[in-house]
Chains A and B, each alone.
Chain A
Amino acid sequence: MALASPIIAEPKHDKLRQLGIVALNGMYDEMDAEGVLKQAVEDLLPGSIALVSSFGADSAVLLHLVSKVDPGLPVYFLETGKHFPQTLAYVETLKAHLGLSNVIALHPDADIRRFDPDGTLWETDPDSCCYLRKTEPLEGVLDGYGGWVTGRKRFQTAERGVLPHFELTSDDRIKVNPLAYFTHEDIEAYKAKHGLPQHPLYEAGYKSIGCAPCTSAVAEGEDPRAGRWRGRDKRECGIHFDFNGSIARPVSQASLTLFKDGAVRTDPWKAWTEDDTAEEARYTHVPLAVFRDYRDVFLASPHPIGLRVDPGDRVEDVAEDLDRFSSIAINFPAFTDGRGYSSARLLRERFGYAGELRGVGDVLTDQIPFMRRCGIDALVVTNAATRKALESNALAEVAHYYQPVGARREVPAGTRPFLRRPEPRVTASARSDT
């Protein structure tokens, strides 16, 4: 069915779908959490719905509902590697108690050692830490479903005061909120009625529980989430999901400009601005000239940084430091300016840069095949038509190549005449056009 398709749909909602959502919301009694969940799992999105749970202080209620409706529903758990041992034990307790058969742990990419070699990134850069341990692992998973079950409740925040059971997000997915009308008391009553096991740290004063280094106990009467990132100006992990396993806020289409590994995704990187400093910059593409001016500071900084290469920049000048960059952005200020292709090839082929190499600027459909062949593997695309072409894998492309370029994709085929390469094997996700 159409809803199960993982493609990112038009920003404009289908009116009929919107009406359908309104009708759905009218079908259920405020407290019929189980009916809402059943409708979602069995009729609305069969096989295309899942939930993310933190296995935190009040995750048990929703998980109990899941066990009643479909114990095999995929339940994702972000195994950040930074959890309290008690949380990991609680995962096992709930699995056994509720008979959940499909709890899936999501681990950070193996690449994390590059960014957080000694495991202390949370201390210096909690945003980046959350991004690497939560946002990234979830990104691939998110695309695979047409909807999500969340544990959000109306009472929790002011914005959530009008939360319905069913919502359509801006990217045309369906969010299902079975607990929307539950109050704090309802939760406690439900737990008591069904004898649900408590998180081991709950009684010790932990009311909202995340990763160990960033969670502390809250005093009686304090906001339950006050213990999260205490002492820091940070409330949410800044990603799609907050710690209650709920979708924090729909991602705006405008921020989805990065195309990588076959899908559009949120971009953790930002451009260098006048206000940035070498000491503080993180997840920022630093212009090559700026990097050279403050090279020592950048090399000493613990934050992940990237490099921006403009036309006319000499990549030779930073050849020694390429390991320092987690991402390099080649700027194409105008599509007719082809200098970036040479920069990309030099970085990949001569200097062996293996990290993310992205094309930014005036990126249009017709250049993309050439960019890819020169080693560019990520694209920041603002042009709507180009994005559509990328998503539907409908690039104008001649897939036969006469020249051996690129460090990875175009491998000699042996039997072919000199200078020829067969159609490249692009990653399955980029090529699947289901």
Chain B
Amino acid sequence: MYRYDEFDAAFVGERVTQFSDQVRRRIAGELTEEQFRPLRLMNGLYLQLHAYMLRIAVPYGTLSARQMRMLAHVARTYDRGYGHFTTRQNIQFNWPKLRDVPAILSDLASVEMHSIQTSGNCVRNVTVDQFAGAAADEIIDPRPVAEIIRQWSSLHPEFIYLPRKFKIAMTGSPNDRAAVKFHDIGLMAQTNREGAVGWAVYVGGGLGRTPMVGKLINGFVAHEHLLAYLESILRVYNRYGRRDNKFKARIKILVHEEGLENFKGQVEQEFAEIRGGVLTLPLEELDRIEAYFAEPDYADHGVVAIDVEREKILDPAFGRFLENNTFPHKRAGYSAVTISLKPIGGAPGDATAEQMEAVADLAERYSFDELRVSHEQNLVLPHVALTDLRAVYDGLAAAGLADANAGEITDMITCPGLDYCALANARSIPIAQDISRRFAAPERAREIGKLKIKISGCINACGHHHVGHIGILGVEKKGTELYQITVGGDGSEDAAVGKILGPGFVADEVPNAIERLVDAYIAERSDPGETFIAAYRRLGDAPFKEALYGNG
């Protein structure tokens, strides 16, 4: 894991001091809310429906046990005993008091964490594949480059007042688990003809009210030129992105309106000017950062495979956990374990202080002190020896975290919705809870297989509904909350935006509607191995439209 050196520590320390003084001035009445607003937003402090919300960056989703324990401490001491993991691999606390925020930030700084640029119109936390550094299918661990991008984008003086927020996602694997094509910039590791690894750059993807799939702007950018290339894109965006309309200010609109070729021409022209300049990344520096992410000291336990079928007979719950919540590791004898934060009937992404501590203990004991936050709002123990899986499972079960539903229908992404968020039009969490109760039976979930449901409480699409195989969008119509259902979205390398098939449903009807879609899929699929999304691609809208609205 990356560790701060003196420079990083001083940087974060200064920022804490600075913001603490701003909070003091706000409390003393020296700053009005209007003056304070841009300052607090730059430090991830939002004013929500009921209270302040503090969003803390988890850079590229990687945490140590010590950091996770500090999050538990913050939850317990300053909040209501829990925190909420987000789709940006961050964590949010929904009930901090303003006067406590300086202390929280100071506590976080002591474990090398901060809230810088978790909001505001600037470059946000870089997200990566949650299995980075562990996945068997990975070309390269994207985190060293993500760390370099984090440094480059932290308080970048030119790009601190962009037209709108700016999100970068990276995947080191061709199987995209980071939804890179739905980010302002998506980077996908690529091997060129000479066998060198670099990055394919996608630009202009995004969700929100105008969902767009990112477009390939450059098929291969070498590590050493990546920062110059990113700076070129950011500069063109900063200068020419729309600022007249908040809803048209993201880079996707600029790329769309200018056309990819035109936009690319401007970026390439800028790149030609700065290529090879001061932003050129020396390979020694990449090596230096990579050393922080060196592979852990794997041991050979003599077990390289687990007979899941046998375990399923011996202990069905554990068997199901193995089947759903483990991911192939690049090192034989190891596995990456997903800890589901989607208990049946719970609030997706929430974890209590006790759970965080339990997870921290397990990480320390069984995963080389490493943890990940996934953009699907789960946690990951990235390096668990197969021989430790049972112990990990038992530990999770004791903490109420052994839900074996990773990747299944109840593993939903859900935004906080109207229960917390000032922007929302409709509630999301209760909808997710209703759906998860409906599909609570493991046999039923297993029959359905891999199916991603994503729920947003408003058009801003924080719940990524556009890329849900089934997406649910809460809207408000004439005073009632209505839920629009989309089908066919996909956040992976086969990126697609879901389609609306007809009018929305009231909250009570949503679980039934989902059930009808699921039943139609099961009835129509070619074989049990054909996933929902594959079946949709083969069959088109018709059977699903009929399932939702009948054929009248």
Residues of A within 8 A of B (CB): 311-312, 335-339, 341-343, 345, 350, 366-367, 369-371, 373-374, 396-405, 412, 416-420
In the complex, which of the residues B42, B152, B238, B285 contacts A403, with contact meaning CB atoms closer than 8 Å? B152
A176 to chain B, nearest CB (A): 38
On whether the beta carbons of A400 and B11 are closer than 8 Å, the reply is yes
Q: Give the residues in chain B near A404, CB-CB below 8 Å.
A: 278-279
In the complex, which of the residues B38, B158, B281 contacts A345, with contact meaning CB atoms closer than 8 Å? B158
A184 to chain B, nearest CB (A): 55
On whether the beta carbons of B11 and A398 are closer than 8 Å, the reply is yes
On whether the beta carbons of B10 and A339 are closer than 8 Å, the reply is no
Compute how far the CA of A416 lies from the CA of B238 in the bound complex, rounded to whole angstroms.
29
Compute how far the CA of A71 lies from the CA of B58 in the bound complex, rounded to whole angstroms.
69
On whether the beta carbons of A419 and B161 are closer than 8 Å, the reply is no
Closest to A417 in B: B285
Q: Give the residues in chain B near A373, CB-CB below 8 Å.
A: 157
On whether the beta carbons of B238 and A341 are closer than 8 Å, the reply is yes
Binds A, one of B14-22, B128-136, B303-311, B377-385: B14-22
Residue among B154, B238, B239 with the highest chain A CB neighbour number at 10 A? B239
Give a binary string over B219-252; 1 marks a CB under 8 Å from any A CB, 0 the rest: 0000000010000000100110001000000000
On whether the beta carbons of A336 and B121 are closer than 8 Å, the reply is yes
On whether the beta carbons of A339 and B155 are closer than 8 Å, the reply is no
Residue among B15, B22, B152, B278 with the highest chain A CB neighbour number at 10 A? B278
| Interface residues in B166-209 (C-beta closer than 8 Å to A) | none
B273 proximal to A (CB < 8 A): yes
Compute how far the CA of A339 lies from the CA of B155 in the bound complex, rounded to whole angstroms.
16
Compute how far the CA of A374 lies from the CA of B238 in the bound complex, rounded to whole angstroms.
14
* Residue contacts A-B, CB under 8 angstroms, 20 given: A335-B38, A336-B121, A337-B243, A338-B121, A338-B160, A338-B161, A339-B243, A341-B159, A342-B158, A373-B157, A374-B158, A396-B39, A402-B11, A402-B152, A405-B156, A405-B158, A417-B7, A418-B282, A419-B148, A420-B151
On whether the beta carbons of A398 and B158 are closer than 8 Å, the reply is no
B474 to chain A, nearest CB (A): 29
B162 proximal to A (CB < 8 A): yes
Give a binary string over B282-316; 1 marks a CB under 8 Å from any A CB, 0 the rest: 10010010000000000000000000000000000
In the complex, which of the residues B11, B22, B161, B227 contacts A341, with contact meaning CB atoms closer than 8 Å? B161
Q: A335-B38, A402-B152 are in contact. Are A374 and B157 (CB under 8 A)?
A: yes
Q: Give the residues in chain B near A400, CB-CB below 8 Å.
A: 7, 10-11, 14
Q: Give the residues in chain B near A420, CB-CB below 8 Å.
A: 7, 151
What is the number of residues of chain B that contact chain A, defined by CB distance less than 8 Å?
38
Q: Give the residues in chain B near A370, CB-CB below 8 Å.
A: 155, 157-158, 160
Q: Give the residues in chain B near A401, CB-CB below 8 Å.
A: 155, 157
Compute how far the CA of A350 lies from the CA of B231 in the bound complex, rounded to whole angstroms.
14
Q: Give the residues in chain A near B279, CB-CB below 8 Å.
A: 404, 419
| Interface residues in B1-53 (C-beta closer than 8 Å to A) | 5, 7, 10-11, 14-15, 18, 21-22, 38-39, 42
On whether the beta carbons of B18 and A396 are closer than 8 Å, the reply is yes
In the complex, which of the residues A342, A366, A418 contacts B281, with contact meaning CB atoms closer than 8 Å? A418
A205 to chain B, nearest CB (A): 60
On whether the beta carbons of A342 and B239 are closer than 8 Å, the reply is yes
Q: Give the residues in chain A near B161, CB-CB below 8 Å.
A: 335-338, 341, 367
On whether the beta carbons of B156 and A403 are closer than 8 Å, the reply is yes
Give a binary string over B38-79; 1 marks a CB under 8 Å from any A CB, 0 the rest: 110010000000000000000000000000000000000000
Q: Give the residues in chain B near A366, CB-CB below 8 Å.
A: 38-39, 42
In the complex, which of the residues B22, B239, B278 contacts A396, with contact meaning CB atoms closer than 8 Å? B22
On whether the beta carbons of B157 and A398 are closer than 8 Å, the reply is no
Compute how far the CA of A343 lies from the CA of B157 in the bound complex, rounded to whole angstroms.
12
Q: Give the residues in chain A near B281, CB-CB below 8 Å.
A: 418
On whether the beta carbons of B152 and A419 are closer than 8 Å, the reply is yes
Q: A337-B161, A404-B278 are in contact. Are A398 and B238 (CB under 8 A)?
A: no
Q: Give the residues in chain B near A418, CB-CB below 8 Å.
A: 281-282, 285
On whether the beta carbons of A339 and B14 are closer than 8 Å, the reply is no
A382 to chain B, nearest CB (A): 15
In the complex, which of the residues A342, A367, A398 contacts B15, with contact meaning CB atoms closer than 8 Å? A398
On whether the beta carbons of A399 and B14 are closer than 8 Å, the reply is yes
Q: Give the residues in chain B near A399, CB-CB below 8 Å.
A: 14
Closest to B21 in A: A396
Q: Give the residues in chain B near A371, CB-CB below 8 Å.
A: 157
B262 to chain A, nearest CB (A): 16
Closest to A420 in B: B7
Q: Give the residues in chain B near A335, CB-CB below 8 Å.
A: 38, 161
Q: Give the residues in chain A near B15, CB-CB below 8 Å.
A: 398
In the complex, which of the residues A311, A369, A402, A412 contacts B154, with contact meaning CB atoms closer than 8 Å? A402
Given contacts A338-B161, A417-B285, 5 further A-B contacts (CB under 8 A): A338-B121, A338-B238, A400-B11, A402-B11, A402-B152
In the complex, which of the residues B121, B148, B239 contacts A339, with contact meaning CB atoms closer than 8 Å? B239
B40 to chain A, nearest CB (A): 11
Q: Give the residues in chain B near A342, CB-CB below 8 Å.
A: 158, 235, 238-239
| Interface residues in B458-486 (C-beta closer than 8 Å to A) | none
On whether the beta carbons of A341 and B158 are closer than 8 Å, the reply is yes
Give a binary string over B335-370; 1 marks a CB under 8 Å from any A CB, 0 the rest: 000000000000000000000000000000000000
Q: Give the residues in chain B near A339, CB-CB below 8 Å.
A: 238-239, 243
Residue among A336, A342, A418, A419 with the highest chain B CB neighbour number at 10 A? A418
5 cross-chain pairs, A with B, having the tightest CB-CB distances, nearest first: A338-B161, A418-B285, A370-B157, A373-B157, A400-B11
On whether the beta carbons of A338 and B162 are closer than 8 Å, the reply is yes
B169 to chain A, nearest CB (A): 20
On whether the beta carbons of A350 and B273 are closer than 8 Å, the reply is yes
Compute how far the CA of A400 lies from the CA of B6 in the bound complex, rounded to whole angstroms.
11
Compute how far the CA of A293 lies from the CA of B22 in the bound complex, rounded to whole angstroms.
46
Compute how far the CA of A418 lies from the CA of B284 in the bound complex, rounded to whole angstroms.
9
Compute how far the CA of A342 lies from the CA of B240 in the bound complex, rounded to whole angstroms.
11
Compute how far the CA of A404 lies from the CA of B156 in the bound complex, rounded to whole angstroms.
9
Residue among A311, A335, A374, A402 with the highest chain B CB neighbour number at 10 A? A402
On whether the beta carbons of A397 and B18 are closer than 8 Å, the reply is yes
Compute how far the CA of A312 lies from the CA of B240 in the bound complex, rounded to whole angstroms.
7
Closest to B16 in A: A398
Q: Give the residues in chain B near A374, CB-CB below 8 Å.
A: 157-158
A420 to chain B, nearest CB (A): 6
Closest to B161 in A: A338
On whether the beta carbons of B159 and A338 are closer than 8 Å, the reply is yes
In the complex, which of the residues B151, B273, B288 contacts A402, with contact meaning CB atoms closer than 8 Å? B151
Compute how far the CA of A337 lies from the CA of B159 in the bound complex, rounded to whole angstroms.
10
Compute how far the CA of A2 lies from the CA of B516 in the bound complex, rounded to whole angstroms.
82
Compute how far the CA of A325 lies from the CA of B81 in the bound complex, rounded to whole angstroms.
60
| Interface residues in B366-411 (C-beta closer than 8 Å to A) | none
On whether the beta carbons of A338 and B158 are closer than 8 Å, the reply is yes
Compute how far the CA of A367 lies from the CA of B38 in the bound complex, rounded to whole angstroms.
11
| Interface residues in B117-168 (C-beta closer than 8 Å to A) | 121, 148, 151-152, 154-163
Residue among A338, A366, A369, A419 with the highest chain B CB neighbour number at 10 A? A338
A414 to chain B, nearest CB (A): 13
On whether the beta carbons of B14 and A341 are closer than 8 Å, the reply is no
B333 to chain A, nearest CB (A): 35
On whether the beta carbons of A403 and B18 are closer than 8 Å, the reply is no
Q: Give the residues in chain A near B14, CB-CB below 8 Å.
A: 397-400
Compute how far the CA of A348 lies from the CA of B10 in the bound complex, rounded to whole angstroms.
28
Q: Give the residues in chain B near A416, CB-CB below 8 Å.
A: 7
On whether the beta carbons of B243 and A398 are closer than 8 Å, the reply is no
